[in-house]
Structure 1
């Protein structure tokens, strides 16, 4: 999504090099010898992307553990109330 935003935020004849997400993604346009415009997109520094993946994984694991704990506690309370 970020690369698409960078791509559509440039003009038609601009020669630019734009970076996003802490320098991890790059969008670059270069004028070629025949007058055409060359476009390069990709990942320049994967560290921020890896950190984001790890943080999201940790947060989702904590949410799942909390949900399971609350569900078990609810079942325990319902069993105690029923007996």
Structure 2
């Protein structure tokens, strides 16, 4: 997420004013021209749903990997015990 915001920040031209979104509209980087001629920026989360979905999917994948690893480790120990006796 941080890398995406940094990419948005550096892909915006120096004189370009407007908003850019990334990751299915969840993150926003906006540049605005202020009254005194300065450029102001705003970054943040526009829509948290894609970020929450990503977190849940990654958590599920990691839990599955951990369960598979434990199962394989138990099977290995079982096979070693059977071959040793």
TM-score tier after normalising by the smaller chain length: over 0.9
Say whether 1:53 aligns with 2:55. yes
Quote the Cα distance in structure 2 between the aligned partners of 1:11 and 1:61.
42
Offset from partner CA, 1:14-64 (integer Å, 9 cap, x none): 102100000000000000000000000000000000000000000000000
> Which of 57, 62, 71 is equivalent to 2:73?
71
Partner Cα distance (2:50, 2:18) in 1: 22
How many residue pairs get aligned? The number is 83
Q: Which runs of 5+ in 2 are unaligned?
A: none
Q: TM-score, normalised by structure 2?
A: 0.96
Structure 1 segments unaligned to the other structure (5+ residues)? none
Moved more, 8-17 or 62-71: 8-17
Alignment of 1:7-46 (within 5 A): 7-46=9-48
Alignment partner of 1:22: what SS? coil
* TM-score (normalizing by structure 1): 0.99
Task: Give the SS at the match of 1:54.
Answer: helix
Q: Using the alignment, how far apart are the partners of 1:66 and 1:13 within structure 2?
A: 52
